[in-house]
């Protein structure tokens, strides 16, 4: 599930060029990274692969992100990543930037998106799994804003949780 959500974040990041952007044909990843560096982007996303479907919202800024969808919330302040399952009352805390983190391997993720298209408002593409499965992804209502100082929106405070929550710290 985290790989799906992370991949959807990538699709959203790819939409920030301001013009129609088609990767990986564009091959201008450095320019894309420069354009997203100082912006905050908010969008809605959806994905499907056969009977598996999901949707949610994502907020991204300077290597930090918050994704909400399908009962999960993922926060990353660039140093720490919290995966929160509110229904199960569980929180997993990990170091951000590891191999499966989009911001550690952005160029690799960009090159793995088939048919990436962006028309200024909507972006779509297909991600292939190691088993050949196809995950169709779409980001809509994409809006970019000036970056906001601080990382409070991208951190999760476990101190406010009661004793019924399970907190697993993997750092």
Q: Where are the domains of the chain?
A: 2-169
Of 28 and 48, the one with more pLDDT: 48
For domain 2-169, give the CATH number: 2.50.20.10
pLDDT at position 17 over 50: no
Within 8 A by CB and 6+ apart from 84, the residues are 72, 73, 74, 75, 90, 91, 156
pLDDT at position 134 over 70: yes
Query: Strand 52-61 and strand 39-49: pairing?
Result: antiparallel
pLDDT at position 16 over 70: no
pLDDT at position 45 over 70: yes
**Distance between CA atoms of 76 and 96, rounded to whole angstroms?**
7
pLDDT band for position 72 (cuts 50, 70, 90): very high
Q: What is the 3-state secondary structure (H, E, C) of the chain?
A: CHHHHHHHHHHHHHHHHCCCCCCCCCCCHHHHHHHHCCEEEEEEEEEEECCEEEEEEEEEECCEEEEEECCEEEEECCCEEEEEECCCCEEEEEECCCCCCCCCCHHHHHHCEEEEEECCCCEEEEEECCCCCEEEEEEEEEEEEECCCCCHHHCCCHHHCCCCCEEEECC
Angle among Cα 135, 137, 140 to the nearest 5 degrees reads: 170
Q: What is the mean pLDDT of residues 32-45?
A: 73
Residue 8 confidence (pLDDT): 52
pLDDT at position 47 over 80: yes
pLDDT at position 139 over 90: no
Give 149-171 pLDDT, tens digit per residue.
887 889 999 999 999 999 999 99
Q: Which residues pair with 117 in a beta bridge?
A: 124
pLDDT at position 140 over 80: yes
Residue 20 confidence (pLDDT): 39
pTM above 0.75, yes or no: yes
| Cβ pair 110, 102 in contact under 8 A | no
Residue 52 confidence (pLDDT): 87
pLDDT band for position 36 (cuts 50, 70, 90): low
């Amino acid at each position: 599930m985290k790989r799906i959500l992370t991949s959807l974040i990538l699709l959203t990041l790819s939409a920030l060029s301001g013009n129609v952007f088609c990767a990986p044909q564009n091959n201008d990843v450095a320019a894309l990274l420069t354009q997203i560096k100082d912006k905050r982007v908010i969008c809605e996303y959806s994905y499907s692969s056969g009977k598996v479907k999901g949707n949610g919202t994502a907020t991204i800024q300077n290597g930090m992100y918050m994704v909400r969808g399908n009962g999960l919330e993922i926060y990353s302040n660039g140093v720490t990543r919290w995966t929160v399952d509110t229904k199960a009352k569980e929180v997993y805390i990990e170091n951000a930037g590891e191999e499966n983190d989009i911001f550690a391997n952005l160029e690799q993720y960009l090159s793995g998106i088939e048919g990436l298209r962006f028309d200024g408002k909507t972006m779509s593409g297909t991600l292939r799994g190691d088993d050949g499965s196809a995950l169709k992804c779409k980001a809509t209502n994409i809006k970019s804003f000036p970056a906001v100082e601080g990382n409070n929106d991208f951190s999760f405070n476990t101190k406010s949780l009661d004793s019924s929550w399970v907190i697993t710290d993997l750092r």
